[in-house]
Structure 1
């Protein structure tokens, strides 16, 4: 009989490392699963193959407990019966940085290559939506497909399939990224468990296949039907060969194959020859659904996790890697092994059930430990790199100031020249305990150190306005590589000042000195001196404070109203933004996955609520206003919420309301304006005493715009302000990375953030940007009742934002670049007076290109080449120019796996041995390799 269709049955498990159980409880189940798999593969040749969920960490987790089975596991991988890679872990792409996604792909390929062939499968089975640049990322990695379960079709409670609202007619489609990259998309239209637990017994199998074949045929564009034999933490179906034989008896018209992804893809492509599929473009966010099942509010579940992740990512990719490159170029080390460890530790927090904050409390406690481990490793790399860099910088020019000279180096690891306020701690004097003085004498000497009269100068000798805080007697220690630790007593000071025009990927040198030709008393007279605060300046710039409620610099004017809201004037455009900084509070009877406001509830706001307003900082380079509120809000949801949670009432159908009892929510908001700043910093301190609620800050744009732009993975994605007609959820919250922007004619407002990854453009006639600062809920949600009291996020929480008004084009005005710089901390270190081969002002690499955003600078492990990456923020081609003083032997274009793409090198136009220029395509992700002598 001629077979009419082929049923591809692919055995797998979707392995959430941690979720409704703590990591180790899932880990034990993984050990049992892989033990069973190895036994089955060795003893049952009819069980053909198994897919390891696209993530190589499964191998690490298994061998950690079963190292004796390494050879057994490797043998099955190399014989092509276990498919591994291409990822290290299955991440949430919206909540992890672009570079984290690249490192994840690189590490997955690196690890898979050790054991066998890398599976070139773009695997996203349960990712909560997909970013628009994934097709380009896949193509650059040599992957021409993407398998996914969410983002195009609607899925409801328990992943039931709806037949309405499809953006593609079939489960097979073409997915096109904003740059034009295309991959074959395979939508798990019947989920990634549609072939799970296939019956062996005839009657049960007959019912099973009658339903499953009909479901698959409903969405399949070809005669190749996909059945995924597995699900979340699914034990192995060891009798699958017998189940397939039963199916063959029941349906002789179907060829049942224990298949794998490469064979399935080849069969689909063959069947599609000469046919066309629907093309889906850009982000896959379930836009054409009712909005209740998008899981988008995981962006605001346990905000503290997102903040720790932002800090860790920035420290690794934007600070540690570029500093290690500069150090390596000038005598230091680039510790590839430490970067691998730090990145893997961080990436272990990036699976969707982890970084999304939608697991039980024990999971997220362990995540904090991983965040700290990764961050501390990066700190150590930075410290070593700065030691090498400061040792190479020529600070001998400061010797003219005498013996009491404390040089310091400020580094800018962003991709753009930078001016801003920096803070550095210095040891003004040290006394080592090895010198044998009594501890009391040590302390006396340090306390007697005279700090008065000193000033801060740059490499040209210009005096820099500087605030110096005497931190008093302190303890420190050195950890030499060649001897025992060296403790000391010291007199520590903290300097705060404006570092101006520090070059991109470079440094500028300063020194704290006694003025030339002045005694200590004369130097002190140049500023104001006290035991705790010593100001040392000559010509002091005008204060930024204008009365008790107003700050102003050359670009911005901010005025605070009696209720703590404020107006912000952008002087170049003349646009005034009003009613900014109002807090909004609503109840939340949803869960870690989705926000749900109680029916009929009106939002509370601080509009009209009296605030205490004070000037908290007034220096020549920066000024701050502090705003405090004591706000009575409902203490929690009413008792009905727990009843509905226990009864597993679907959250859109809940009837709970907020309780009548209230608590005081204490809010402290600091507005900070720098002298040269293009934006206004907003820092919120929240003493959270309430449960079951959401807190947002509102920024009305009052600009006519039908869409807005938002930072996503290697893309400024454009999204409509109005949801699709199918959308029913009253909330239209969305994901962001570094910022969101609303622009109109000749004016625009960019709101940047640190780890605040949920926003909404309100449909209030003002195009208000609402940024979620805190969401408090008490249950995990999804398929059962899992209480999560720590998800209420009680206690002090913080939120950091930067408001950047501009002329209507966030990219060409520089607002986007400033928003990216906001993510990156300054790095400063004390130096000594010595000669060196690095000048006092230095940049490793210089580049220009208005439409380009700089993304990374790192070293390739195998070749030692420099790898620099940019992406085009716009849909228009742009020009990129690059030059360096390094001993270059050649430039080339690379893909995201850091492999040279020789056929693309014709695009490079060299302007001498050390410079090049090229065209950057629309939305292109571009990686340039530099070979060094």
Structure 2
């Protein structure tokens, strides 16, 4: 009898490392699972294979406890009975940075390659929606498919599905990214557990297969039916071979195969020959649903985790890696082993149930420790790199100021030239304890150090306005490589000033000096030969530089901040207007706080029915100028706001009864608590945006706090930063959307624009926003969301998710003329993510000039993403992506001794030699390259060095 259909049964377990149990509780179950798997593979040849959930960290976790089983495990992997990779962990793609997704893929491939063949399966079984550039990421990694469970089908409570409204006609589809990359998409239409616990007994098997076969046929485009034999933390079904034999006897017309993903894909592709599938384009965010099951509000659960993650990601990819490259180019080290360790530690916080903040409290406490461990490692790498860099910077031009000159180096590791306010701590004097003085004498000498009369100068000798804070007597120590620790007493100061025109991926040197006798005006002594001027700002108390206006102050009238581009006026209730002078556009009612109840859970926000949001509109604020310097000014706005203390008692009753959150009837309590809000608005002299810092003292529960920014712009859609993409999204949800809230994910910023004006709202780790349907296109950014339960399949109280205590949120408002890309607003938003790095230096000659850039590039539509080194080849890898859908030119120049350039994929494997395609030009001793960047293309360029 010819078989009419094939049932592909794939054994797996979806392994959340931590979720409704702490990590170690899940870890114990993993050990038992893998022990059972190894025994079964060796004792039962009929059990053909097992899929390790697409993540190699399972191997690390197992061998941490069972190192004696390494050989057994490796043997089954090499024999093709255990499939591993391609990821290190199964991440949430919306809440982790583009480069973190790339490192996850790179580390997964590297670790899997040690044991055997990497499974080329784009595996996203439980990811909470998928970003639009995943097809391009997969194609560049040599993966032609994507298996996923969410994004294009109606999903409700407990993963129930409806029978219509699909964006694809079948579970098989073509998924196309914005650049045109295509992969075969396989939707787990019946979830990744539709073949779980298959009965071996005939009677139970008959009932099981009648329902399961019908469900699979309902969505399948071919005669190849997929059955996933496993689920979350699912123990191994050791009698599967017997269950398959039972199924074969019951259904002789169907071929039941203990299969694997590679064989299943081949069979599907063969069956699809000559047929076409539905094409789904771009992001997969479940927009064609009622909006209650998208899990999007995990973007605002435990915001503190997202902020820690943003800091950790940026420190690694935008600071530590590029600084390590510069250090390596000038005699330092590129510590790939430490970078990998720091990345792995950080990535362990990126699984969807971890970074999404939707686990029990113990899980997220351990995450904070991991964030700290990764950050401490990255900070050590940065410190070592900065020591190598400062030792190589030529600061000899400052020698003319005498022995008291203290050089310092400001580095800009963003992809664009940068001007902004920096702060650096300097040791004005040191006295080592080894010199034998008493501690009292050390303290006396340090306190007696004269700090008067010093000024800050740039490499040309131009005095730079700065604020000097005496931090007093301090203790420090060196940790030399060749001897015991060296403690010292010191007199420490902090300098705050505007660093002007610091080159991209480069640095600029300054010095804190005593002026030369007779020096006057904006110059004092000799500059460093060959260095460009940094802008010639005036000294403290001197006349302001040309173009700075009649006064160096940015403050006017007590409630107004103003520079050449922006004017900010604060109203009595703490809201403010923002005028963008080049376009003439005035944005009003900005900075109002909104507060609502939240009777949902860590996964989804649910406002109490009928509740009217509270706002600070009309609430009198205490307003003060707290900073007035030539380079920056700040206004403080303080609110003391009474809001409901929590939800009422009905909420806990409904939680215990497992009432589905859209159906809850709880309201807010009539008891009140004081919500203390301190908002600081900061405007820099050369700033194109207004910095907003919100300090929140939270004593309330079961609520959400947002800040509102009405755009008042005529736009039906907006653009939002996502993974290697500025995604365009409609302001109005799809007709199927019933949820009153239309909150969505963002990475660095969201932008609303019309033809001649636009408003970009950038953030640090605030991943949830909403474009309100209020006729003003208000951008609402969630600052804090507080709930008391995990949610999902049971009642799991999470009191720490109420986020009591102190919080701080940071944003940058960038008004612009028209398009965010062409105006530079997008680039400014990306720069906002990246901290300045400064370090004290000494006076000496060096191989790095006082103004330096490792590479130079230009291309308006291109966004710079990373600079790192490949440890094996020593090649530099630089990555950009096109922020638009139109091709653009990218010009790259470098003075480095490059012997050639090539395009690379995201796994850092060479694709093509660029010189053979575009020609390598010699221009003024520098290598110059002209490249074409396709619409939405992710481009990685390799640079071979001598």
Q: Do the aligned partners of 2:408 and 2:841 also contact (CA within 8 Å) in 1?
A: yes
Q: Give the drift of 1:165.
A: 1.5
Q: Structure 1: which 5+ residue stretches go unaligned?
A: 525-534
Instruction: Name the SS of the counterpart of 1:598 in structure 2.
Output: coil
The reply on whether 1:308 has 2:308 as its aligned counterpart is yes
Match of 1:643 in 2: 653
Alignment of 1:455-534 (within 5 A): 455-517=455-517
Match of 1:697 in 2: 707
Question: Which of 535, 544, 566 is the matching residue for 2:554?
Answer: 544
Match of 1:863 in 2: 873
The reply on whether 1:918 has 2:931 as its aligned counterpart is yes
Q: Do the aligned partners of 1:856 and 1:868 also contact (CA within 8 Å) in 2?
A: yes
Match of 1:574 in 2: 584
- d(CA) in 1 for partners of 2:717, 2:417: 30
Alignment of 1:58-97 (within 5 A): 58-97=58-97
- What does the per-residue CA deviation read over 1:793-834, in whole Å, with 9 as the maximum and x for residues that have no partner? 000111000000000110010000000000000000000000
Question: Which of 597, 609, 617 is the matching residue for 1:599?
Answer: 609
- d(CA) in 1 for partners of 2:914, 2:704: 49
Q: Give the drift of 1:909.
A: 3.5
Q: Give the drift of 1:234.
A: 0.1
- d(CA) in 2 for partners of 1:107, 1:908: 32
Instruction: Name the SS of the counterpart of 1:716 in structure 2.
Output: strand
The reply on whether 1:794 has 2:804 as its aligned counterpart is yes
Q: Do the aligned partners of 1:893 and 1:905 also contact (CA within 8 Å) in 2?
A: no
Match of 1:184 in 2: 184
- d(CA) in 1 for partners of 2:918, 2:160: 51
- d(CA) in 2 for partners of 1:567, 1:206: 69
Instruction: Name the SS of the counterpart of 2:896 in structure 1.
Output: coil
Match of 1:14 in 2: 14
Match of 1:529 in 2: none
Alignment of 1:290-305 (within 5 A): 290-305=290-305
Q: Give the drift of 1:111.
A: 0.2
Match of 1:754 in 2: 764
Instruction: Name the SS of the counterpart of 2:900 in structure 1.
Output: strand
Instruction: Name the SS of the counterpart of 2:910 in structure 1.
Output: coil
Instruction: Name the SS of the counterpart of 1:914 in structure 2.
Output: strand
Match of 2:536 in 1: none
Alignment of 1:417-436 (within 5 A): 417-436=417-436
Match of 2:817 in 1: 807
- d(CA) in 1 for partners of 2:67, 2:942: 38
Instruction: Name the SS of the counterpart of 1:386 in structure 2.
Output: helix
TM-score, normalised to structure 1, is 0.98
Instruction: Name the SS of the counterpart of 1:222 in structure 2.
Output: coil
Alignment of 1:599-638 (within 5 A): 599-638=609-648
Q: Give the drift of 1:918.
A: 1.1
Q: Give the drift of 1:163.
A: 1.0
Match of 2:736 in 1: 726
Instruction: Name the SS of the counterpart of 1:511 in structure 2.
Output: strand
Q: Give the drift of 1:904.
A: 7.0
- d(CA) in 2 for partners of 1:856, 1:909: 24
Q: Give the drift of 1:518.
A: 5.7
Q: Give the drift of 1:88.
A: 0.2
Match of 1:707 in 2: 717
Q: Do the aligned partners of 2:576 and 2:590 also contact (CA within 8 Å) in 1?
A: yes
Instruction: Name the SS of the counterpart of 1:770 in structure 2.
Output: strand
- d(CA) in 2 for partners of 1:163, 1:862: 52
- What does the per-residue CA deviation read over 1:811-864, in whole Å, with 9 as the maximum and x for residues that have no partner? 010000000000000000000000111110000000000000000000001100
The reply on whether 1:901 has 2:911 as its aligned counterpart is yes
Q: Give the drift of 1:185.
A: 0.1
RMSD: 1.4
- What does the per-residue CA deviation read over 1:890-911, in whole Å, with 9 as the maximum and x for residues that have no partner? 0000000000002776543422
- d(CA) in 2 for partners of 1:822, 1:330: 28
Instruction: Name the SS of the counterpart of 2:555 in structure 1.
Output: coil
Match of 2:547 in 1: none
Q: Do the aligned partners of 2:194 and 2:212 also contact (CA within 8 Å) in 1?
A: yes
- What does the per-residue CA deviation read over 1:687-746, in whole Å, with 9 as the maximum and x for residues that have no partner? 001000000000000000000000000000000000000000000000000000000120
Instruction: Name the SS of the counterpart of 1:732 in structure 2.
Output: coil
- What does the per-residue CA deviation read over 1:634-676, in whole Å, with 9 as the maximum and x for residues that have no partner? 0000000000000000000000000000001000000000000
Q: Do the aligned partners of 1:909 and 1:918 also contact (CA within 8 Å) in 2?
A: no
User: Which region of structure 1 is more displaced relative to structure 2, 162-171 or 48-57?
Assistant: 162-171
- d(CA) in 2 for partners of 1:909, 1:726: 53
Q: Do the aligned partners of 2:568 and 2:576 also contact (CA within 8 Å) in 1?
A: yes
Q: Give the drift of 1:279.
A: 0.0
Alignment of 1:354-373 (within 5 A): 354-373=354-373
Q: Do the aligned partners of 1:870 and 1:927 also contact (CA within 8 Å) in 2?
A: yes
Q: Do the aligned partners of 2:748 and 2:830 also contact (CA within 8 Å) in 1?
A: yes
Q: Do the aligned partners of 2:901 and 2:914 also contact (CA within 8 Å) in 1?
A: no
- What does the per-residue CA deviation read over 1:517-576, in whole Å, with 9 as the maximum and x for residues that have no partner? 0699xx99xxxxxxxxxx945334620001110000000000000000000000000000
User: Which region of structure 1 is more displaced relative to structure 2, 507-516 or 155-164?
Assistant: 155-164
Match of 1:929 in 2: 942
User: Which region of structure 1 is more displaced relative to structure 2, 914-923 or 354-363?
Assistant: 914-923
Q: Give the drift of 1:915.
A: 1.2
Match of 2:153 in 1: 153
Match of 2:222 in 1: 222
Match of 2:534 in 1: none
Match of 1:400 in 2: 400
Count of residues in correspondence between the two structures: 923
The reply on whether 1:777 has 2:781 as its aligned counterpart is no
Q: Give the drift of 1:130.
A: 0.1
- d(CA) in 2 for partners of 1:649, 1:246: 40
Instruction: Name the SS of the counterpart of 1:638 in structure 2.
Output: coil
Match of 1:131 in 2: 131
Instruction: Name the SS of the counterpart of 2:714 in structure 1.
Output: coil
Instruction: Name the SS of the counterpart of 1:337 in structure 2.
Output: helix
Match of 1:877 in 2: 887
User: Which region of structure 1 is more displaced relative to structure 2, 867-876 or 162-171?
Assistant: 162-171
The reply on whether 1:237 has 2:237 as its aligned counterpart is yes
Q: Do the aligned partners of 1:463 and 1:538 also contact (CA within 8 Å) in 2?
A: no
User: Which region of structure 1 is more displaced relative to structure 2, 567-576 or 905-914?
Assistant: 905-914
Instruction: Name the SS of the counterpart of 1:901 in structure 2.
Output: strand
Distance 1:907 1:761, change over 3 A: farther
Alignment of 1:372-451 (within 5 A): 372-451=372-451
Instruction: Name the SS of the counterpart of 2:257 in structure 1.
Output: strand
- d(CA) in 2 for partners of 1:537, 1:325: 40
Q: Give the drift of 1:36.
A: 0.1
User: Which region of structure 1 is more displaced relative to structure 2, 511-520 or 435-444?
Assistant: 511-520
The reply on whether 1:667 has 2:669 as its aligned counterpart is no
- d(CA) in 2 for partners of 1:430, 1:797: 36
- What does the per-residue CA deviation read over 1:870-901, in whole Å, with 9 as the maximum and x for residues that have no partner? 00000010000001000010000000000000
- d(CA) in 2 for partners of 1:905, 1:46: 53
Match of 1:890 in 2: 900
Q: Do the aligned partners of 1:907 and 1:919 also contact (CA within 8 Å) in 2?
A: no
- d(CA) in 2 for partners of 1:44, 1:835: 70
Distance 1:888 1:537, change over 3 A: farther
Q: Do the aligned partners of 1:455 and 1:537 also contact (CA within 8 Å) in 2?
A: no
- d(CA) in 2 for partners of 1:505, 1:6: 55
Q: Give the drift of 1:765.
A: 0.1
- d(CA) in 1 for partners of 2:367, 2:856: 38
Match of 2:696 in 1: 686
- d(CA) in 1 for partners of 2:360, 2:909: 40
- d(CA) in 2 for partners of 1:861, 1:593: 40
